Chain A
Amino acid sequence: KAGVTQTPRYLIKTRGQQVTLSCSPISGHRSVSWYQQTPGQGLQFLFEYFSETQRNKGNFPGRFSGRQFSNSRSEMNVSTLELGDSALYLCASSPEGTGGTQYFGPGTRLLVL
């Protein structure tokens, strides 16, 4: 099976802009989770979607949002970008939800200037 894919792999934006990242889960996986990875804060949970519904959300401001489509593909959006949003954004898919085994994609590296 193909692994989790994320697009784009690299992105450069300026402060105030918005960005949309995409994630395609492993075939058959209905749960998709998003994480932010930074050198200072490490890996932090953003949110998880299962069958197009957000089941859980981490402690991030409302500028961070996501959605999931009927084919389980997911997108996350960050509006009004800040310098501190520069990070590696990781998507993970699971056949059982975040309580189950999660498989990560390669991530999208976002740089905010």
Chain B
Amino acid sequence: GENVEQHPSTLSVQEGDSAVIKCTYSDSASNYFPWYKQELGKGPQLIIDIRSNVGEKKDQRIAVTLNKTAKHFSLHITETQPEDSAVYFCAASTDYKLSFGAGTTVTVRA
């Protein structure tokens, strides 16, 4: 089955700096790559996604890049704010299943 690895597991950044989270996947058939943000006591919230026919996608301060050849994709958050502090998960979809990375705990220091 699909195996998604996510790094780093924890990330501490100064407010205003950028944060980058990287994921790799194993199944070349995967064609959909969403990113979720989960706050304490809540379900995962979709923040951005990318499909395999696109290399990069941006939504305000958040961007995702995809390299299908290397089987890796990354999340970039610019101008981080305290409300960006949360756990972030990457995922890859193949055969109608979402396989998640282990998560990255992001802490934005004021």
Contacts and interface: CB of A to CB of B under 8 A. Distances in A.
B13 interface: no
A65 B91 CA distance: 24
Contacts, number: 55
Contact of A102 (B46, B99, B102): B46
Main secondary structure of the interface of B (DSSP, over half): strand
B25 interface: no
B98 A45 contact: yes
14 contacts: A42-B102, A43-B44, A43-B89, A43-B100, A56-B95, A56-B97, A58-B97, A90-B43, A90-B44, A98-B96, A100-B32, A102-B46, A104-B43, A106-B43
Interface of A: 4, 33, 35, 42-45, 48, 55-56, 58-59, 90, 92, 97-107
